């Protein structure tokens, strides 16, 4: 799992501060250190995975926070770095409210280059539950 160093609208003050209950000990709990590049994080994961299963293919899982919450240029650089590593696919965790037209176009482009999954972290459509979990 990759920590690309991105934020979230529920962290940076756009729709909340402090994150939701998934931020601490949830989203990104097992990720590599964001101080390392995508390549370095993937290499560490490859070593870990190949200890148990040497023939396994690697998927770059951008999991921590909201992985479409940055400029398209920044996102493209992150995703392209993963592709350059030779991953089998890319998985991107994000929020439904953070996929604008530019990000959607980039995801469509990325889908043409690799096996792509996009995880939409809705958690709840109930406003009361969203408030209780501090979803923003």
Q: Model pTM greater than 0.75? A: yes
Per-residue pLDDT at 37: 93
pLDDT tens, 84-116?
A: 999 999 999 998 888 999 999 999 999 999 999
pLDDT tens, 55-92?
A: 999 999 998 888 999 999 999 999 999 999 999 999 99
- Using the structure block, give the residue that is written with the tokens 């030779």: 86
Distance CA 103, CA 72 (A): 6
φ, ψ for residue 114 (rounded to 5)? -160, 175
Per-residue pLDDT at 27: 46
Distance CA 126, CA 130 (A): 6
Per-residue pLDDT at 123: 66
Q: How many CB atoms lie within 10 A of CB 26?
A: 10
């Amino acid at each position: 799992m990759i920590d690309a160093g991105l934020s979230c609208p529920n962290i940076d003050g756009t729709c909340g501060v402090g994150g939701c209950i998934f931020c601490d000990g949830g989203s990104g709990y097992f990720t590599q250190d964001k101080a390392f590049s995508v390549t370095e994080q993937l290499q560490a994961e490859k070593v870990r995975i190949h200890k148990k299963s040497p023939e396994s293919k690697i998927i770059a899982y951008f999991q921590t926070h909201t992985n479409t919450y940055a400029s398209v240029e920044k996102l493209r650089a992150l995703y392209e770095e993963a592709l350059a590593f030779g991953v089998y696919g890319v998985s991107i965790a994000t929020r439904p409210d953070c996929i604008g037209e530019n990000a959607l176009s980039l995801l469509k482009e990325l889908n043409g280059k690799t096996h792509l999954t996009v995880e939409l972290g809705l958690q709840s459509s109930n406003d009361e539950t969203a408030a209780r979990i501090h979803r923003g």
